[in-house]
Amino acid sequence: MLELIRHLCLLLVTISVLATDESFKQRSEILTNIVRLAHDTYDDLKTAPPSYDKLEPARIQVLLYVSSIDAVNEASMDFTVGILLHLRWTDTRIYHDKAHNLFLQSKLQSLDFDSENIKKVWVPDIFFPNEKKGSFHDIMTQNQMMRLYQGGTILYISRLSMTLSCPMDLINYPFDKQTCHILIMSFGYSDQDLVLDWMNLTTADDLTMNPDGKAIVVDSEVLLPQFEVKSVIPSFCNRRYHQKAGNHSCIQAEFHLARNIGFYIVQMYIPSMLIVMLSWISFWLTVNSVPGRVSLGLLTVLTMTTQSSSVNAALPRVSYTKAIDVWMSTCLVFVFAALLEFAVVNVLSRKESISGFSLKNVFTLPKDTDKEDGPLNMAEMTVPLDGFHEAEAQKKKRFNKRGIVYAIYVDMTARVVFPICFIIFIMSYWLYYVNAE
């Protein structure tokens, strides 16, 4: 009994396989006959758009499925995308009366073209005006398909990757928002012969994203490290192209991107803030700590210069000032001002008296003569042992202490003024650029 059941199962599987193979063979023969009959009737089946002789424009509907957005490069101002390009049009030349009868007899709703028959049918001469480089995918076979529906509607799908130009305005970088486009046009036909339209969009006024049938679909797995895709909007862009008379039908996909600020906060803003605060340690060191204060000031200035250079190394050399330039330049001014503050403090601490002090005295060399005793004799100098000049020494020491006191006052003022000014700058900077459009 078990052996009989096994034989019956094998027989059913064999019949099913043979029926499937016969069905496939039948569909392949029907498609071959339809294409052959169309070629016998129309010589321009492969070379010209539908209704080209009737002076009617062929209407091509386009749908984009964005499978990946690989990179947005500010330096070269371009972005790389991977898309599935869907084209749909009606060609009555291939859906002739005999093709209609074959569809009815076989009860088929559609026929899929093989790679050989695709080459025998006209395909729109689509190109991308802002493309820098692109390629079709052909692993393991060419990633394209064509399907013929009842009524003569043809659906063509092809997978390709492209790097497209994307001019960027970096004046608010890294708080910027960019808009990149995918432009689609016909290369050889004007709008009198070929018209492009978005699939599921009926008129040029209806440009809202239809939730039931979007003309541009972005894969839910698409994630960018620095940008967030806020919206994708289909629109139109008819324009004149090369020497042929008339405008060319053009459609474009607008990708509205907003930059994520998290990376720049961690890698740029927080380190530069810490460097500026590190320079304030100089105000808490004693006036006589000359090596420590000089080393700290020079270190912070050089560090800020290096960080500013590394930030701009990955950006194009634009002629305007970016938001990150304002931040880095201001931080550099703060650390440089801290170094200058020490220079002022050091000069004040070495003055015997603050009276009569002016900027001119800073650049005046000390004289080598004494008003009372004449020129100093550097070869013979005597030091009294009886303390005769002790009162005069105490007087000079008192004047020196007075200069140090003024230097300490400058340090104490800098401890308060520098942080307050920096906090005001931070608040003004972030309020302005975060709300900037």
Mean pLDDT of the chain: 80
State mean pLDDT over 179-184: 94
pLDDT at 173: 92
pLDDT at residue 209 is higher than 60: no
Could you tell me if residue 388 is inside a domain? Answer: no
The domain boundary, picked from 217, 242, 259, lies at 259
Which residues does 66 contact at the CB level (< 8 Å), separation at least 6? 81, 82, 83, 216, 217, 218, 219, 222, 232
Domain count across the chain? 2
Is 12 a domain residue?
Answer: no
Same domain? 340 vs 427? yes
Mean per-residue pLDDT for 231-255?
A: 81
Output the pLDDT for position 8. 54
Count Cβ atoms below 10 Å from residue 402 Cβ, excluding itself: 16
Which is higher by pLDDT, 422 or 382? 422
* pLDDT score of 79: 94
Same domain, 144 and 283: no
Q: How many residues does the chain have?
A: 437
Q: Tell whether 119 and 51 lie within a shared domain.
A: yes
- Per-residue pLDDT for 357 more than 90? no
Which three-class secondary structure string do you get for 31-83?
Answer: HHHHHHHHHHHCCCCCCCCCCCCCCCCEEEEEEEEEEEEEEEECCCCEEEEEE
pLDDT at 239: 72
- pLDDT (tens digit per residue) in 323-344: 999 999 999 999 999 999 998 8
- Tokens standing for residue 67: 């499978």
At residue 392, does pLDDT exceed 70?
Answer: no
The confidence score (pLDDT) of residue 298 equals 92
Percent of the chain whose predicted confidence (pLDDT) is above 90? 37
Considering the domain architecture, whether residues 128 and 196 belong to the same structural domain is answered as: yes
pLDDT in tens, 268-282: 999 999 999 999 999
Under the banding of pLDDT at 50, 70 and 90, the label for residue 16 is very low
Q: Which of 121-130, 132-141, 221-230, 389-398 shows the lowest mean pLDDT across its residues?
A: 389-398
- Contact indicator for 201, 215 with CB cutoff of 8 Å: yes
Burial 182-219 (b: 16+ CB within 10 A, else e): bbbbbeebbeebbbbbbbebeeeeeeeeeeeebbbbbe
Per-residue model confidence as pLDDT tens digits over 36-56: 888 888 888 888 888 777 778
pLDDT at position 4 over 60 = no
pLDDT tens per residue, range 249-270 = 899 999 999 999 999 999 999 9
Residue 141 lies in a domain: yes
Phi-psi map region of 42: left, alpha, beta (phi>0 left; psi -120 to 50 alpha) = beta
Burial of 327 by CB count in 10 Å (0-12 exposed, 13-18 middle, 19+ buried)? buried
Residue among 297, 66, 65, 324 at smallest CA distance from 172: 324
334 plus 206 within the same structural domain: no
What's the pLDDT score for residue 234? Answer: 92
User: Tell me, what's the pLDDT at 290?
Assistant: 84
Kindly report the CATH number assigned to the domain that includes residue 417: 1.20.58.390
Helix (H) or strand (E) holding 183: strand 177-186
Listed residues 231, 259, 287: the one ending a domain: 259
Instruction: Report residue 361's pLDDT band, with 50, 70 and 90 as the boundaries.
Output: low
Domain that holds residue 171: 26-259
Same domain, 287 and 160: no
Q: CB neighbours of 365 closer than 8 A, spacing ≥ 6?
A: none
Among 214, 231, 259, the domain-final residue is 259
According to the model, what pLDDT value does residue 336 have? Answer: 94
**Do residues 221 and 162 share a domain?**
yes
Instruction: Read off the pLDDT of residues 89-127 as tens digits, 9 standing for 90 and up.
Output: 998 888 877 877 887 787 788 888 888 888 888 999 999
Q: Return the pLDDT at 406.
A: 84
Residue 437 has pLDDT above 70, yes or no: no
CATH number of the domain to which 185 belongs: 2.70.170.10
Residues 212 and 108 both lie in one domain: yes
Mean pLDDT of 345-358: 67
